[in-house]
């Protein structure tokens, strides 16, 4: 049953509203691109919970016009999608796929015709398999291959794309893909995965240079962040929480915004990066804005003595880690088991302003959303309503936030969960590919109409 809610508070006239997706999760048409690490990962039994793959996913390559119409009718001003590196460069470098670039050309044209601003993300975890086989993100050369790919994409669609994102969530790609092995490419390196984080950040900096050389601007990155709360006031719990905060937050924001790693990260990298100072200068090239993906805070304590692996958000963490995540009790949970804590978004945004001061670029919430079942998804409406009010509170307190993107437009292939988690405003029947807007889609459309007329898609 629908709940009567007060309208959302009024956001600035030029605030950018959008929805997000990613290439591997929705595009399908796997036979029309080169293989990625996710194709190899999902082919191995046991890596994906329901045994599905993204070979078809939402068939977006063939149905993009229908999906753009859904975006237009929703009333948002922007669509954040990702470009598939192996669709453009099947082997990661060298020969360019005209067919792949043609698809993004058509997609951008369709968005522009619908009055929706295209916001491409150049990397959302789908590393070309050939690049992985040459060392992947463990080797420095991959950062340079990525910059070459960025230049290819900018050359083709840069004349119509005013806003760009280099990377999506390098923290998750480092942690889940290379430290714990739960995502592709399935490496279990623990702290030996730190060079991956550095090479991803270097790739970002090199791509910023390539995009600016191609004459495009308004460049940001989409990093995942969340407050880290100590399990208690005990010194050991606070120390563990501080270390976790460095690994999941400051490892990725400090070098981008300040040009320096936290001291503990510099020590852990050791001699792995001989040109660290020069790399940090590249990594910290000025950004036009900084994207934050937010889903939940994390409570962390010191490792519990005598315990084995710890379960956390569907992950089994090895006991040798110097921290132990703890449940956040007394909060509703999403279908993914994540606690719903809207005020943590306010806290996070205020923390960024306090931590970085005048060095902080304008912010954009590039992802925020939740997994729930059903078409009458009142829980999703409550989640989005709460987080948008929390965002508005941070803005009222002086944090410069320029936009908000819902994750996700469509139900999609949710990585190691397969098709078992549904984040979409629009339900997808994977057997028939029928799209059905959920109650949350209608709610957001109504709220956006209540915000008043928006500026044209090519403004700013």
Domains of the chain: total = 1
Give catalytic status of residue 354 as yes or no. no
pLDDT, averaged per 10 consecutive residues of the chain (460 residues), comes to: 86 97 98 98 97 98 98 98 98 98 98 98 98 98 98 98 98 96 96 97 98 96 98 98 96 98 93 90 98 98 78 73 93 97 98 98 98 98 98 98 98 98 98 98 98 68
Host domain of residue 200:
16-450
Query: What global pTM score does this model have?
Result: 0.97
* Burial class (CB within 10 angstroms; exposed 0-12, middle 13-18, buried 19+) of 201: buried
407 is in an annotated binding site: yes
Q: Does the residue 291 lie in any domain?
A: yes
25 is in an annotated binding site: yes
* Residues 129, 41 contacting (CB under 8 angstroms): no
Q: Does the residue 9 lie in any domain?
A: no
CATH code of residue 369: 3.20.20.80
Q: Does the residue 171 lie in any domain?
A: yes
Q: Does the residue 3 lie in any domain?
A: no
Look at residue 20 in the predicted model and tell me its pLDDT: 98
Give catalytic status of residue 367 as yes or no. yes
Q: Does the residue 104 lie in any domain?
A: yes
Q: Does the residue 271 lie in any domain?
A: yes
124 is in an annotated binding site: yes
pLDDT tens digits, one per residue of 99-136: 999 999 999 999 999 999 999 999 999 999 999 999 99
Q: Does the residue 162 lie in any domain?
A: yes
pLDDT tens digits, one per residue of 327-366: 999 999 999 999 999 999 999 999 999 999 999 999 999 9
The residue annotated as part of the active site, out of 367, 373, 434, 447, is 367
The residue annotated as part of the active site, out of 169, 239, 417, 447, is 169
295 is in an annotated binding site: yes
Q: Does the residue 242 lie in any domain?
A: yes
């Amino acid at each position: 049953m629908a709940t009567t809610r007060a309208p959302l508070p009024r956001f600035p006239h030029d605030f950018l509203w959008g929805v997000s997706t990613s290439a591997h999760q929705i595009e399908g048409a796997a036979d029309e691109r080169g293989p990625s690490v996710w194709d190899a990962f999902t082919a191995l039994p046991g890596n994906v919970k329901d045994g599905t793959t993204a070979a078809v996913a939402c068939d977006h390559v063939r149905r993009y016009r229908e999906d753009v119409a859904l975006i237009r009718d929703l009333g948002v001003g922007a669509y954040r999608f990702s470009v598939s590196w192996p669709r453009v460069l099947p082997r990661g470098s060298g020969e360019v796929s005209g067919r792949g670039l043609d698809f993004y050309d058509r997609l951008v044209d369709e968005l522009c015709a619908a009055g929706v601003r295209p916001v491409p993300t150049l990397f959302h975890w789908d590393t070309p398999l050939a690049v992985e086989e040459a060392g992947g993100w463990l080797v420095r050369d991959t950062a340079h291959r990525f910059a070459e790919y960025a230049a290819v994409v900018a050359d083709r669609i840069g004349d119509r794309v005013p806003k760009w994102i280099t990377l999506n969530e390098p923290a998750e790609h480092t942690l889940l893909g290379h430290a714990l092995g739960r995502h592709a490419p399935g490496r279990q390196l623990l702290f030996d995965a730190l060079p991956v984080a550095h090479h991803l950040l270097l790739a970002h900096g090199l791509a910023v240079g390539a995009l600016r050389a191609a004459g495009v601007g308004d460049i940001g990155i989409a990093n995942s962040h969340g407050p880290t709360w100590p399990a208690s006031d005990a010194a050991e719990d606070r120390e563990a929480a501080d270390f976790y905060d460095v690994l999941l937050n400051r490892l990725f924001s400090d070098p981008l915004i300040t040009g320096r790693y936290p001291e503990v990260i510099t020590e852990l990298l050791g001699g792995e990066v001989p040109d660290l100072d020069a790399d940090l200068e590249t990594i910290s090239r000025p950004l036009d804005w900084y994207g934050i993906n937010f889903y939940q805070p994390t409570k962390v304590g010191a490792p519990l003595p005598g315990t084995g692996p710890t379960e956390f958000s569907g992950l089994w963490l090895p006991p040798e880690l110097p921290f132990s995540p703890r449940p956040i009790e007394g909060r509703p949970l999403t279908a993914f088991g994540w606690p719903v804590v809207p005020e943590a978004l306010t806290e996070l945004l205020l923390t960024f302003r306090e931590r970085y001061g005048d060095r902080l670029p304008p912010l954009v919430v590039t992802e925020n959303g939740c997994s729930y079942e059903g078409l009458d998804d009142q829980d999703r409406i409550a989640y989005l309503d709460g987080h948008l009010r929390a965002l508005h509170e941070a803005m009222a307190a002086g944090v410069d936030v320029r936009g908000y993107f819902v994750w996700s437009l469509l139900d999609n292939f949710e990585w190691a969960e397969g098709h078992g988690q549904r984040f979409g405003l629009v339900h997808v029947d994977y057997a028939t590919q029928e799209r059905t807007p959920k109650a949350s889609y209608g709610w957001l459309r109504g709220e956006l109409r209540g915000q008043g007329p928006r500026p044209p898609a090519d403004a700013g």
